[in-house]
Structure 1
Amino acid sequence: MSLSMAESGYLPSEKFDDDGRIKRTGNWKSATAHIITAVIGSGVLSLAWCFAQLGWIAGSITLALFSVITMFNSILLTDCYRSPDPVTGTRNYTYMDAVKANLGALQYKVCGIAQYGVLAGITIGYTTTTAISMAAINKSNCFHKHGHNADCRVKNSMFMVIFAVIQIILSQVPNFHKLSPISIVAAIMSFSYSLIGIGLSVAKIAEDGIGKTSLTGMPVGPNFSGMEKMWRTFSALGDVAFAYSFCFVLIEIQDTLKSSPPENKQMKKATITGITASTVFYMMCGVLGYAAFGNDAPGNFLTGFGFYDPFWLVDIANICIVVHLLGAYQVLAQPLFGFVETYSKQKWPQNKLITKEFSLCGYDINMFRFAWRSTYVIVTTIIAMIFPFFNDFVGLLGACTFWPLSVYFPIEMYIAQTRIRKYSFTWNWMQILSLACLIVSLLAAIGSTHGLITSVQSFKPFQSES
């Protein structure tokens, strides 16, 4: 951890912050862009399917509850950026640093396993989702040219390789502080394809009327057992949880903010704005998508070809998804990149391969950074080729992410930092909230795991088609 300016014998200047690092220049608007980029991801594409499993009542309540819980815990987490005082304390540069400062070394290690495991999983999921959107562009043009009944299937592996090549280039951005332009573009793209999906849903409803919907979702019948209904309901809970997953990069986003006004105040404003905007879009996508397709809503409503025309608008929507996920991949991968590189520099400070930077055409290049990040992208791409399952994979990631990183650690850190008395009223209801979220996460994980097992039984690696 860096020494403060006072500890190191230097005074703050206009170029440096109180911790001796280059002065941060982010504000609540750039933080909001980062949040929207991280939150409105591929999860929005499955919300119509979630409503088809949960129905009007449970679907709407689930979205609202996850929104409120995520916002509440995120606000708690903003006060943990500095310790012990949320305004004048020592900075925690990463989510793991905050856990270590407030909860100790053991939970720091547990958090690291959870956080970086989930971040790796999400980048795998984004690789799959981007390939499906690229394939959807190809299929949309094929259907337009040859008719809706044409065989327009295409293998996803080629598109995953294209995505990987672009990510290897983008991964050379040195750190989170340099990502603001990418995040702003990605946030615009996420709004764009969400709006297109909403517009297409409205058009379908206007043309064909509201699909076959119900208060409780897809009904049990001869071709749909009660057991299958239960598994899908659990998986849908995981999908919604995934749609709101971003707490594990909140501290890293907060570390980009300038110190005046206080970072926690700026971050609370960004969090409320970002999650509120995301929830409005989520509700519209889920409600209108379910109204348009009814109980037959596809798992991904922009690539499942509920919409064929206008084909060019479907193409634009999928291009926006691709561009957005190119940026979102970086927002979520940078904490993992930074952790490995910081650890390596501390472990082998004399190794020039790890520490030396050289300039090439105005860009700073580090050989270790290039090799490690490129290897990471290649490995995650290969895993995505082996397990390209959208809904169940998204649900499992949401289940694994939601309770530990979005609920348990924020609550426990806040309790520790504010010294809330054990068994007091506040302590009790926070523990009840945590336990309830744990149960939901376990149910979602069970449902998604069952779906993955079912999918794997009839799947051949590297042969996925869209």
Structure 2
Amino acid sequence: MGDNGSAEHRPQASFAPMDVSIELTQKQSTGAFESFDDDGRLKRTGTMWTASAHIITAVIGSGVLSLAWAIAQLGWVAGPTVMILFAFVIYYTSSLLADCYRTGNLVSGKRNYTYTDAVTAYLGGMKVNICGFIQYANLFGVAIGYTIASSISMTAIQRSNCFHEKGQNNPCHISSTPYMIIFGVIQILFSQIPDFDQIWWLSIVAAVMSFTYSSIGLGLGVLQVVANGGVKGSITGMSVGAVTVAQKIWRSLQAFGDIAFAYSYSIILIEIQDTIRSPPPSEAKVMKKATLLSVAVTTFFYLLCGCMGYAAFGDSAPGNLLTGFGFYNPFWLLDIANAAIVIHLVGAYQVYCQPLFAFVEKWAARTWPDSEIISKQIEIRAPLSSSKSYKPNIFRLVWRTAFVVVTTVISMLLPFFNDVVGLLGALGFWPLTVYFPVEMYIVQKKVPRWSSRWVGLQMLSFACLVISAAAAVGSIAGVVSDLKVFRPFKSSY
């Protein structure tokens, strides 16, 4: 089983294993060995705190603002209960996945640098190709979704200022296309950061922004409850009568999907774990602590924002909590919240796309090992410093710029692509968050078929499959609805 993760699947240490061995020996003899890890790479410097920042940046997205709507569909009892249950599921399956970072011994076993590497080492076969396709398709879709989401927040800032200056009777229609271009230009610059390990500071800034706009939404919810003179909402949520029985069931399933996807970050868990410094303690232990901290913090914020939003608006809770407060009072605070969302999405874009960037670049290096375009770096001296220099890589510059341009153009062409991203997320939630971690755990621990543990794991997997399928159907319905009013490059708010 361990041979499945052979050298050809190890992106960074596998280009020239003999050279790496010689290089390590030379470094050890010259006293420079302590600067490198056991696989020949520069020592990883990540900690529980930086890993937690990456996770929080990935998990607490602008989707937190839709949780009030989700709770409105389920009610005061089922809403928070479902949220806590999903937090437990995500933490449990993420813990299983964290143990798969190394094959064999958790301290000295062979590293799996990516999610696909872990699947290769433990499962192999066609499952590797299926996993890789789902993972990278999701990352591509998330890049498009974040481009659209950021443009919505930027247009919201301009609209609120327009309404404040010209009055609420002015339509203040704002095109989102220029803002997508601005976001794309920013991402072209940040995308030149070489690898995941070097964006820790961007993740910390993004995580702070997550708490900023979540806290503003929470605070405005509290003020709205006070203004209402009490708490709105009911035990069962949206009542039959206001909606049909079919709509009640449909919306409840959508709410399950919204909550499930709000927590999912397994798609990049292994890549985050690969930034953690070498043991002791093992990377798996550090990652589990980071996961526990991050899931606890996000669940706390999710419950506060979701429940307070439902208390403020009741069954009429909006899909985006911030829009429920209008554009007026206080318009400047809503501008700050939307600006925080944009800054957060800048960082989240990089957290999700860096694994995809690395995958393509490592594939290119394996395919054309002698190409100077792929391997050569150009040294550029910093204009105000003689000692500092930048070393961009031609292939990295061209490929990452092209990626950002393509995702930006698709965002402008299909401004409703969030529904398609929802479909990709629905298709990716079950296999990446539940199925593969469960199956790898069964292989790793040699869990007997039909044992109580095996049956329990399979039941968990099946339940999450049903939720993913329901959410996928909902996303397809959203795409069909959007196509009826589709106008390319004509999105405005």
**Shorter-chain-normalised TM-score: which range?**
over 0.9
Q: CA deviation at 1:232?
A: 2.7
Match of 1:8 among 12, 16, 21: 21
The residue aligned with 1:451 is 478
Q: Does 1:339 align with 2:359?
A: yes
Write the letter of the residue equivalent to 1:453.
V
CA distance in 2, matches of 1:27, 1:69: 24
8 Å contact from structure 1 (residues 231, 448) kept in 2: no
The residue aligned with 1:385 is 412
SS in 1 for 2:391: strand
- The list of structure 1 runs, each at least 4 consecutive aligned residues, that deviate by more than 6 angstroms after superposition, is 4-7
Deviations 1:164-205 (A, max 9, x none): 110111111111011111011111111111111100111111
The residue aligned with 1:167 is 187
Q: Give the direction of change, closer, same or farther, for the CA distance of 1:390–1:285 in structure 2 (3 Å limit).
A: farther
CA distance in 2, matches of 1:304, 1:331: 29
The runs of 5 or more residues in structure 2 that have no matched partner are 1-9, 383-388
Q: CA deviation at 1:356?
A: 1.1
Q: CA deviation at 1:143?
A: 1.9
8 Å contact from structure 2 (residues 148, 418) kept in 1: no
The runs of 5 or more residues in structure 1 that have no matched partner are none
Q: CA deviation at 1:59?
A: 1.6
Q: Does 1:424 align with 2:437?
A: no
Match of 1:271 among 275, 282, 291: 291
Q: Give the direction of change, closer, same or farther, for the CA distance of 1:116–1:339 in structure 2 (3 Å limit).
A: same
Q: Give the direction of change, closer, same or farther, for the CA distance of 1:200–1:304 in structure 2 (3 Å limit).
A: closer
Match of 1:232 among 243, 251, 270: 251
> How do 1:315-354 residues align onto structure 2 when only pairs under 5 Å count?
315-354=335-374
> How do 1:240-319 residues align onto structure 2 when only pairs under 5 Å count?
240-260=259-279, 261-303=281-323, 305-306=325-326, 308-319=328-339
> How do 1:89-100 residues align onto structure 2 when only pairs under 5 Å count?
89-100=109-120
Q: Give the direction of change, closer, same or farther, for the CA distance of 1:201–1:321 in structure 2 (3 Å limit).
A: same
Q: CA deviation at 1:308?
A: 3.1
8 Å contact from structure 1 (residues 139, 153) kept in 2: yes
CA distance in 2, matches of 1:164, 1:158: 10
> How do 1:61-140 residues align onto structure 2 when only pairs under 5 Å count?
61-140=81-160
CA distance in 2, matches of 1:244, 1:302: 20
Q: CA deviation at 1:67?
A: 0.6
CA distance in 2, matches of 1:288, 1:347: 53
CA distance in 2, matches of 1:390, 1:58: 30
CA distance in 1, matches of 2:431, 2:228: 43
**Alignment length (residue pairs):** 465
Greater Cα radius of gyration, structure 1 or 2: 2
Deviations 1:28-67 (A, max 9, x none): 1110000100110122121112122222222212211111
SS in 2 for 1:93: coil
Deviations 1:83-130 (A, max 9, x none): 022222000111111110111132111100110011111111111110
Q: CA deviation at 1:464?
A: 1.5
Q: Does 1:189 align with 2:209?
A: yes
Q: Give the direction of change, closer, same or farther, for the CA distance of 1:120–1:349 in structure 2 (3 Å limit).
A: same
CA distance in 1, matches of 2:18, 2:97: 25
CA distance in 2, matches of 1:447, 1:215: 24
Write the letter of the residue equivalent to 1:113.
F
The residue aligned with 1:437 is 464
Q: CA deviation at 1:5?
A: 9.7
The residue aligned with 1:404 is 431
8 Å contact from structure 1 (residues 102, 416) kept in 2: yes
SS in 1 for 2:236: coil
Q: Give the direction of change, closer, same or farther, for the CA distance of 1:456–1:212 in structure 2 (3 Å limit).
A: farther
8 Å contact from structure 2 (residues 212, 340) kept in 1: yes
CA distance in 2, matches of 1:227, 1:125: 29
Write the letter of the residue equivalent to 2:251.
R
Q: Give the direction of change, closer, same or farther, for the CA distance of 1:225–1:465 in structure 2 (3 Å limit).
A: farther
SS in 1 for 2:379: strand
8 Å contact from structure 1 (residues 46, 299) kept in 2: yes
Task: Name whichever of 164-173 and 212-221 sits farther off.
Answer: 212-221
Q: CA deviation at 1:392?
A: 4.0
The residue aligned with 2:401 is 374
What TM-score comes out, normalization by structure 2 length? 0.90
Write the letter of the residue equivalent to 2:247.
E
CA-based RMSD? 1.9
The residue aligned with 1:48 is 68
8 Å contact from structure 2 (residues 430, 465) kept in 1: yes
8 Å contact from structure 1 (residues 235, 445) kept in 2: no
8 Å contact from structure 2 (residues 145, 417) kept in 1: yes
Q: Give the direction of change, closer, same or farther, for the CA distance of 1:387–1:35 in structure 2 (3 Å limit).
A: same
Q: Does 1:30 align with 2:50?
A: yes
The residue aligned with 1:155 is 175
Identity %: 53
Write the letter of the residue equivalent to 1:404.
P
